[in-house]
Amino acid sequence: MAAQIYSKKEVKVKVSPNLADYQETHASFNWQEASKDVEWFPNGGLNAAYNAVDRHIKTARKDKIALIWEGTNGEKKQFTFHDLYKLSNKFANLIKGKGAEKGDRVFIFLPRIPYLYASFLAILKNGSIAGLLFSAFQEQALLDRLADSGAKILITNTELSKRLENIRKDLPELKEILTVDTAEFEAELGKQSEEFTAIATDPADFAFMLYTSGTTGKPKGVVHQHYAIVAQHATARYVLDIHDEDIYWCTADPGWVTGIAYTILGNWSNGATSVIHEGRFDPDKWFQILADYKVNVWYTAPTAIRMLMGAGDDLPKKYDLSPLRHILSVGEPLNPEAIHWSIKVLGLPFHDTWWQTETGCISIANYPAMDIKIGSMGKPFPGIGAAIVDDLGKTIEDGKEGNIALKPGWPSMMKAIWQRQEKYDSYFVNGWYLSGDHGYRDTDGYFWFIGRSDDVIKTSGERIGPFEVESALIAHPAVIEAGVIGKPNELRGSIIKAFVVLEKDSLQKVKDPQEAQKLKDELSQFVKKHLAGHAYPREIEFIDKLPKTRSGKIMRRILKARELGQPIGDTSTLEEY
Ligand code: WT7
């Protein structure tokens, strides 16, 4: 079936796009040229945070609003680039005084408050490595990440710090916990100098790390280098199409890579006035923010879009959304209905973008000046080579399904998996970086997403490893074993479904349906409480036995096929079934 095309020819251009012609830019683009759009130190050093904020202090952007912040309870604050510069310098002096050195891991565990952004910048300016922890994380998720990274300092608040009480003893390398909402902290921060000279880090020095999930094992630390700023700058310019006069809102949390690359680095490097909303998703509030702050460029995610659609078409009519010029989506497949809806309700199509924690910047995208094939992820970013390859890394002809692969060499390709060289190496096959996603390319060069090639779950756009959830379930005394899959869901893309094998006594108990429901609720709560608020199974099914390979690996593929009523496929490696 031919794809529906949203042609850009008929669109009245409000502002000429930064990327006027995809083919032309694709042909002429090179990273060396793009590197000149950021500022290098005379000795060849490059610091990402210096580029996001400090360099603007010498220009007319100094007193421009960098951050428009709205808190959970409606509090409002604004920070100019100069304000951010001074605040992050104070933070840098403070953590330096606490012993943070170059290469030390300094982690942030905070809601989306201004101190999160200032401390992130500070850590990078100090040459330390920033680690981000999503505020929904609980004990187990925190322990895994802080222990593996050997974090030295943690920046958090009083409420969230309580989640560390039981695990602190297991974190010998963690020397300092700073709680930013205390009077002592305020007093200490207040004493710091507003001047700090950003370290002239080497472009290849580590800047930040994020833990992300694969199929097996604990989450792994994806590490990015300072040089990544070159790619984040270029993509914010050409894909987000940020112009100096824009008000820009990216709804992502910095606990995920989108919130780092495009609510801190790429956006500010381009000098964009950026909106941050601390509170949770709420349709009314979101439309209100778009209207109140006259947002021009909006970057969000499919689950949020579907929830906005679900709120009805009358709601957006209450707001003046006419300042919107360019809208984008990332994180999971963007359904055609979402684009049709946005055209109808907002007068604009959502532009899908594809990338990953590991790629560090938008890698495949739809551009303002390029026709959209509705349902496609678009074309590779100029400067990034993309292809569909087989499992041996051989390119596959157009139209055929295979692995979505990128040619290494773009500046924000992950620099390491923290202390796991083998894991890092396993991403590369025959000179290609393999994404773990399946898709195809059509004869016009557009890429189409099919699905993951592994068991990674995307729920509401967030990436969850089944192993983490299984491990959390097993920690409950009633559970012997668990197998976890993503079950397709219209609103959230997928929900987490757990198949659980119970110990004897519980098995007896759950013969009573009421008891069964009680235990399911208890297990969901248990995961929520110990692992993370967003990574719990919304559906649980008790089963006698999990399908396993002869070597004892849970075959989630079979659980999934059974759940969806699909053929089970090759079971030759199955234990007995
Ligand atoms: C995985 C990466 C970096 C942005 C946030 C996600 C899925 C991402 C799309 C898209 C279909 C998408 C892929 C990818 N994904 N964008 N436009 N269409 N799927 O980063 O948490 O590392 O997840 O998200 O499966 O591998 P992440």
C-alpha dihedral sign at 312, 314, 320, 324: positive
Q: Residue whose CA is closest, atom 20 of ligand 1?
A: 356
Mean of the pLDDT values across residues 154-166? 98
pLDDT for res 217? 80
**Residue 42 Cα to ligand 1 middle (Å):** 37
**Residue 458 Cα to ligand 1 middle (Å):** 8
Q: Residue whose CA is closest, atom 21 of ligand 1?
A: 463
Q: How far apart are CA 267 and CA 233, in angstroms?
A: 7
**Residue 232 Cα to ligand 1 middle (Å):** 16
Nearest atom within ligand 1 for CA of residue 353: 17
Mean of the pLDDT values across residues 440-464? 94
75-97, pLDDT tens digit by residue? Answer: 999 999 999 999 999 999 999 99
Order of strands across the sheet with 247-250? 76-80, 65-70, 273-277, 247-250, 297-300, 326-330, 350-354, 364-365, 379-380
Mutate to test the pocket of ligand 1, among 256, 332, 534 (most ligand atoms within 8 A of CB): 332
pLDDT of 203 over the 90 cut? yes
pLDDT for res 276? 98
State whether the beta carbon of 89 lies less than 6 angstroms from ligand 1: no
Mean of the pLDDT values across residues 366-372? 97
The answer to whether 483 touches 556, Cβ cutoff 8 Å, is: yes
State whether the beta carbon of 257 lies less than 6 angstroms from ligand 1: yes
Mean of the pLDDT values across residues 404-421? 98
Nearest atom within ligand 1 for CA of residue 252: 5
| Nearest partner of 332 among 456, 227, 503, 441, judged by Cα | 456
pLDDT bin (cut points 50, 70, 90) of residue 553 is: confident
Query: What proportion of the chain, given as a percentage, has pLDDT over 70?
Result: 98
pLDDT bin (cut points 50, 70, 90) of residue 12 is: confident
pLDDT of 569 over the 80 cut? no
**Residue 19 Cα to ligand 1 middle (Å):** 23
Q: What is the CA radius of gyration of the chain?
A: 24
pLDDT for res 315? 96
Mutate to test the pocket of ligand 1, among 329, 350, 384, 437 (most ligand atoms within 8 A of CB): 437
**Residue 428 Cα to ligand 1 middle (Å):** 18
44-60, pLDDT tens digit by residue? Answer: 999 999 999 999 999 99
Mutate to test the pocket of ligand 1, among 433, 449, 457 (most ligand atoms within 8 A of CB): 449
Q: How far apart are CA 376 and CA 374, in angstroms?
A: 6
Q: 3-state SS string over 499-549?
A: EEEECHHHHHHCCCHHHHHHHHHHHHHHHHHHCECCCCCCEEEECCCCCEE
**Residue 332 Cα to ligand 1 middle (Å):** 5
State whether the beta carbon of 526 lies less than 6 angstroms from ligand 1: no
Nearest atom within ligand 1 for CA of residue 377: 17
State whether the beta carbon of 253 lies less than 6 angstroms from ligand 1: no
State whether the beta carbon of 452 lies less than 6 angstroms from ligand 1: yes
**Residue 34 Cα to ligand 1 middle (Å):** 25
Q: Give the tokens for residue 208.
A: 């930040």
Domains and CATH numbers, the chain: 5-377+385-441 (3.40.50.12780), 457-564 (3.30.300.30)
Through-space distance between the first and last CA atoms of the chain, rounded to whole angstroms: 39
Mean of the pLDDT values across residues 259-281? 98
Mean of the pLDDT values across residues 373-392? 98
State whether the beta carbon of 357 lies less than 6 angstroms from ligand 1: yes
